[in-house]
Structure 1
Amino acid sequence: MSACTSCGACCSWCRVDFSSYELDENGGHVPAGLTVEVNGNTARMRGTDHWPPRCAALTGKLGEKVACGIYEWRPSPCREFEEGSEGCHRARAKVGLPPLPAS
């Protein structure tokens, strides 16, 4: 089991902005109903602009069992985020989870 399915920190620590061309209504795959418009060129995952942030597509309880409700259609920032990266460790620390063990 991936550490990601028991974590969810990356989905609840920052804004998730991406090109509006990734929206399904513009030919992409990200469901527009789960986003808000930032400007004409940029969309944001709903929930990541609140405090504390939590992506509207995240299901489950942080640190226990989580999943992305749109995993196959998630935007590019989510696709580029890597388990065990520096960003991963910062996100885990921000939500009170320990760093992942070195592999």
Structure 2
Amino acid sequence: MSTDNPCISCGACCASFTVDFAQQELQSEGGCVPDGLTVTVNDSLARMRGTDHVRPRCAALVGTVGVKASCGIYEWRPAPCREFGLCAPMGRGDEACARARTRHGLAPLD
């Protein structure tokens, strides 16, 4: 990602959506996502801690949304986060990105 990519400093998606993923992605199950940053949803799903709060904010988010924010476990983030960020290499967002940015008072990306 280039240094002028807005996704490097945004973080709006990490403070807007519930992030559920397969339990198999947890470190304790042989995956990469640190168990301590998650909560159990049911026998097959885990959730990133903090993403189901009234004002969501993923426990792995570091920094200030819209100023300088990043994922503290970027290399080990769960599948939904990897999929959401598919537009990130080009520095453009999709409809969900626009909703998240608007929620935090940020203009949608072009």
Q: Give the CA RMSD over aligned residues.
A: 0.9
Q: 1:26 offset after TM fit, Å? A: 0.2
Q: How many residues align?
A: 101
In 1, distance between residues paired with 2:30 and 2:96?
29
Q: Which amino acid aligns with 1:24?
A: Q
Q: Could you state the TM-score of these two structures normalised by the residue count of structure 1? A: 0.94
Q: For 1:1-103, list aligned pairs within 5 A.
A: 1=3, 2-81=5-84, 82-83=87-88, 84-100=93-109, 102=110
Q: Which runs of 5+ in 1 are unaligned?
A: none
Q: Secondary structure at the match of 1:39?
A: coil
Q: Could you state the TM-score of these two structures normalised by the residue count of structure 2? A: 0.88
Q: Which runs of 5+ in 2 are unaligned?
A: none
Q: Spell out structure 1 runs of 4+ moving beyond 6 A.
A: none
Q: Share of identical aligned residues, percent?
A: 61
Residue-by-residue CA offset, 1:73-102 (whole Å, 9 max, x unaligned): 0000000013311111111111211111x2
In 2, distance between residues paired with 1:6 and 1:67?
6
